[in-house]
Amino acid sequence: MPIKAVEDLTEADAAAELSRLASEITQANRAYHTADAPEISDADYDALKRRNAAIEARFPALKRSDSPSEQVGSALAEGFAKARHDVRMLSLENAFAAEDVADFDDRVRKYLGLSPEATLEFTAEPKIDGLSLSLRYVGGRLVQAATRGDGEVGENVTENARTIADIPQVVQGAPEVLEVRGEVYMTHADFAALNARQREKGEKPLANPRNAAAGSLRQLDAAITRARPLRFFAYAWGALSEPLAETQFGAIRRLQDLGFSTNPLTQICDGPEALLAVYRGIEAGRAGLGYDIDGVVYKVNDLALQRRLGFRSTTPRWAVAHKFPAELAWTRLEAIDIQVGRTGALSPVARLLPVTVGGVVVSNATLHNEDYIAGRDARGEPIREGRDIRVGDWVQVYRAGDVIPKIADVDLSRRPEEAVPYVFPEVCPDCGSEAIREEGDAVRRCTGGLICPAQAVERLKHFVSRAAFDIEGLGAKQIEMFFADPILPIREPADIFTLAARDAANPLQKLRNRDGFGEKSVTNLFAAIEERRQIPLNRLIFALGIRHVGEAAAGLLATHYGTWAAFEAAMTAATPGAGPEWEDLLAVDGVGAVLATSAITAFHQPAERASIDRLVAHLTIAPVLPRGPVESPVAGKTVVFTGTLERMTRAEAKARAEALGAKVAGSVSAKTDILVAGPGAGSKATKAAELGVEVIDEDAWIALIGEA
């Protein structure tokens, strides 16, 4: 049927067409944003939107409540809005063996100064294999649901969460502000039914229940989420206007009373023995549960103790996840490829005959390094009783949770006669530079530095990754494409920020005319890049991809130096091993000599430094303010503890002082503001008196920080 001109449409035609356009545009949005698989060209998409707008202009009364014209550049077109978590969403430390559980109990006791005989209760509950969600209720009403994201900022998925039956919209008798946290998951039965429907529709089946749950919750169209059978278990909380209870167990019971679904297998245990008994029980019943779990989580039951224990940079001290052993399968090793990482590390990757391991098809696995392939560890001791791994071998693959699959063992009885020992390359497969292994390093590294294309590409991928610059529309795939592009190349991070200007200066070969690009995607890409010219200091430091400087370390450095100018000046002035800048850097809790040397070196290599300088010229770098309450009476003060502390251990005293913004030093100097002296304080107290430093006892300290 020929398309009528807008002027010729009757009212009935217009209504019908607006309805069709709304669903077509929604479908196109969905394919583009969530499935990462656009179904129509950008030009066709734009034409649909224009037609919709023209019809609405002629028949304003017919404009639909779900009109696509209301969604220009909004949540729908851009993906989800961001939601900042008032209280960060953290992850859990993992334990694998029974000893790790005893260690956990030990560490908690030591931190709290409890004797081995003192009572210390824990809860044990299944670790649900889904995705975490934070639900915010104000005045008893659900006002926001957000995914974890990077822990600080997640995606606002409120409308989707409202479609989940286990999530109450209204709770009665709850604290004024209540943030409930838990896991969204899908049962095995619902997963199987969903995949059957997908197949019937000719759509791709989903890999496993966890992916299905994550994909279903993150649909831009809440109607799709509604059609997916999701469930929710509550197991934690974030911001609260008043406490839920005095114990973990009590808090979970309270959440249950408020109408949340909580896991019925949760139990109280009086120590590692009891925890392990629950672990074994839950593991034995795992197959019959009807949903996936990947371990058992142990938490200190007393919430006052949880508060004292507090957090490390990304995990609480009061909890641990005891993971189930990994899933195993045997398959053939077809080839060993070498990948070059951003720091030049040569990583062997096993290419496997595809095999299903715990419900997921695996065709690649890591082989760690050359020693691992040869059957020895870093100290030259045999592993797998010295059995080496050869191309053609039958190997045992395992995967635990989300991590990259690994090769555990090899079956010598099935080794083909022609299989030969693997020879690890001594030159970079990408740039041909020599690849060397430094004394004590398990890894062989390409010495090509910035001239090695593989390193450069990996650095760029790291630069745009989620915890770094997170540029929408510029992922690993696009980086590879731009890196090889003869007209608009991106060879180093600074090039990203000159892309739009270079494109504008190049009228004949405009990006928007190329295959795979259109007006809309190019405009969006340039806007996303523009938005990231402003970047928080911690993200920038992480993005630089300095060896040993991961996300947590970047956060520590950013908090310590505060501004780019201070960080850059310190790294420039510092020399590894000595001097005031070196001392200052090492004084940061969590920064050791290896990390410090690596950070300083990055600023002293001329080519690397020049590349950093070129990048920074394009950016506005937001300073990072020290964490913790600024109001604290000890914020910014330098404190020294000496003598015996009776109400808390040294580790706890230090962690709490730091959480309140104080700096804890090991010795008294003119810079010391407060000396907290317990019984038996010796020379430090004398020195403090000489220097006129304020000396207080432990009780006065506790009164000062307001935690009697």
Catalytic annotation, residues: 127
> Can you tell me the distance from the alpha carbon of 204 to that of 206, in angstroms, rounded to the nearest whole number?
6
> Which of 32/235 has CB closer to ligand IVH?
235
| Min separation Cβ 216 and ligand IVH, Å | 16
> Which of 127/656 has CB closer to ligand IVH?
127
| Min separation Cβ 707 and ligand IVH, Å | 21
Q: At a CB cut-off of 8 Å and minimum separation 6, what does 47 contact? A: none
How far is residue 387 from each of residues 73, 441, 538, measured CA to CA in Å?
A: 57, 22, 44
User: Tokens for 575?
Assistant: 């020399």
> Can you tell me the distance from the alpha carbon of 244 to that of 494, in angstroms, rounded to the nearest whole number?
49
User: Tokens for 667?
Assistant: 């010795």
Q: How do beta strands 638-642 and 94-95 pair?
A: unpaired
> Which of 91/506 has CB closer to ligand IVH?
91
| Min separation Cβ 162 and ligand IVH, Å | 20
| Min separation Cβ 682 and ligand IVH, Å | 40
The answer to whether the beta carbons of residues 113 and 43 sit under 8 Å apart is no
In angstroms, how far is CA 340 from the centroid of its own chain? 23
Under DSSP, the state recorded for 2 is P
> Can you tell me the distance from the alpha carbon of 458 to that of 431, in angstroms, rounded to the nearest whole number?
14
Q: What letter represents residue 443's amino acid? A: V
How far is residue 470 from each of residues 8, 109, 132, 535, 543, measured CA to CA in Å?
A: 47, 40, 21, 10, 10
> Which of 127/462 has CB closer to ligand IVH?
127
| Min separation Cβ 400 and ligand IVH, Å | 12
> Which of 236/479 has CB closer to ligand IVH?
236
Residue nearest to ligand IVH (CB): 132
> Which of 292/458 has CB closer to ligand IVH?
292
How far is residue 508 from each of residues 483, 489, 527, measured CA to CA in Å?
A: 20, 16, 22
> Can you tell me the distance from the alpha carbon of 22 to that of 638, in angstroms, rounded to the nearest whole number?
62
> Can you tell me the distance from the alpha carbon of 190 to that of 212, in angstroms, rounded to the nearest whole number?
10
| Min separation Cβ 265 and ligand IVH, Å | 10
| Min separation Cβ 258 and ligand IVH, Å | 18
Task: Encode 93-104 in three state secondary structure.
Answer: CEECCHHHHHHH
Nearest to 78 by CA among 41, 38, 32: 32
> What does the buried/exposed string (b/e) look like for 74-106 if buried means 16 or more CB atoms within 10 Å of the residue's CB?
eebbbebeebebeeebbebbbbeeeeebbebbe
Q: How do beta strands 534-536 and 444-446 pair?
A: unpaired
Beta bridge partners of 138: 141, 177
| Min separation Cβ 314 and ligand IVH, Å | 9
Nearest to 59 by CA among 20, 13, 25: 13
Helix (H) or strand (E) holding 232: strand 231-240
> Which of 309/397 has CB closer to ligand IVH?
309
> Which of 150/673 has CB closer to ligand IVH?
150
> Which of 89/428 has CB closer to ligand IVH?
89
> Can you tell me the distance from the alpha carbon of 287 to that of 171, in angstroms, rounded to the nearest whole number?
33
Nearest to 317 by CA among 325, 326, 307: 307
Under DSSP, the state recorded for 419 is -
Residues within the interface to ligand IVH (CB under 6 A): 90-92, 125, 127-128, 132, 183, 235-236, 297, 316, 319, 321
| Min separation Cβ 321 and ligand IVH, Å | 5
